[in-house]
Amino acid sequence: MKDWVSFAVVILASSALAERVNQLQVDAEQTLRESAKRMNAAPALGKWCGTGYLYCSAPSCQIEYGPACDANVRPDGPDTTRIARPKVGSIPYGKPIYGCNRNGDIALTYDDGPYTYTEDLLDLLEQYNAKATFYITGRNLGKGAINDPATPWPALIRRMISDGHQVASHTWSHQRLPTLSKSKFWNQMIYNEIAFANILGYFPTYMRPPYSASSEKTNAWLDELGYHITYFNLDTEGYIHDNPNMIDTSKNIWDNAIEGKDPERNKWLHIEHDPVYQTVYNLTEYMLQSLVRNDFKAVTVGECLGDPKENWYRKVG
């Protein structure tokens, strides 16, 4: 009997240990997701070498030092480097844009996707007849290339267009543009264009720099490529408050900007991130209900700037 008791104790201890190891693995994976999501992994790594998701996937992989980084892999699709890039319309190219032009508009924008939650976000926007702009990163968070037919991303991006949303560039792999050589910078923009063109037959003229980081040098390069550089003037910091106990902080930021404001005199260019769970499944509907209640209109960035839709993209071929 004593031996059986000892054996049972060992089994229970082993089971508890296995559960603990499994929980540690889950916690580690969550930490990696949070690190990538908040875009702090790359600076934290310095110039250390390593293998695995944290080191070899965008944006953590240091593209200037790691030729095997997934961000250094050119996507399939037509080369866009020789596409004509006429500058049309009244919206400036190569200069920072922080706000909308039309009162009553709130340009909802989502960075870093598409991601696991994006389809549900599209369903929610459709429910409220709201339009948004998706600043798409071509390859990040271990999701593969956006134009990989084995992934759900091409269909999601096509749905964004068919639902009346705007798609824009958030670079290929979410790098800090001012830190890059011109050739690496070029890849960040051109690779994303290639992926877009492979999916849609055209690519955006609008972009947002990752980390909101640009410079006179990179602005000039973006001007050369014919891009509108768009930022924001309303940030709820949903990516910081991605916790059911913290997301009310983001709601308060939104309320302070929107609630009780006169749509005849106010307008906003807003930012969220669709890989952030609480943003998609909690904060967004709160914002949409507030928009309706306060008589604001959820629109794309192009719309809030008064830029005709035909100016938002460049055709290939």
Catalytic pick among 111, 242, 274, 307: 111
**Residue 36's pLDDT band (cuts 50, 70, 90):** very low
pLDDT at res. 231: 99
Q: Side chain identity at 37, as an amino acid letter?
A: K
111 as an active site residue: the answer is yes
pLDDT at res. 180: 96
Domain boundaries, the chain: 2-56, 92-315
Give CATH superfamily name and number for 92-315: Glycoside hydrolase/deacetylase (3.20.20.370)
pLDDT at res. 299: 99
pLDDT digits (tens, 9 = 90+) for 114-160: 999 999 999 999 999 999 999 999 999 989 999 999 999 999 999 99
- Among residues 45, 46, 210, 244, which one has the least CA distance to residue 139? 210
Task: List C-alpha distances in Å: 104 to 158, 304, 309.
Answer: 28, 9, 19
pLDDT at res. 38: 41
- What is the DSSP annotation of 173-211? S---GGGS-HHHHHHHHHHHHHHHHHHHSEEESEE--GG
pLDDT at res. 49: 52
Catalytic pick among 242, 273, 274, 307: 273
pLDDT digits (tens, 9 = 90+) for 161-211: 999 999 999 999 999 999 999 999 999 999 999 999 999 999 999 999 999
**Residue 235's pLDDT band (cuts 50, 70, 90):** very high
79 as an active site residue: the answer is no
Q: By percentage, how much of the chain surpasses pLDDT 90?
A: 75
Contact 227, 92 (CB under 8 A): no
Mean pLDDT of 80-103: 97
Q: What are phi and psi of 173, to 5 degrees?
A: -140, 25
pLDDT at res. 100: 99
pLDDT at res. 72: 83
Is residue 46 scored above 70 in pLDDT?
no
pLDDT at res. 70: 79
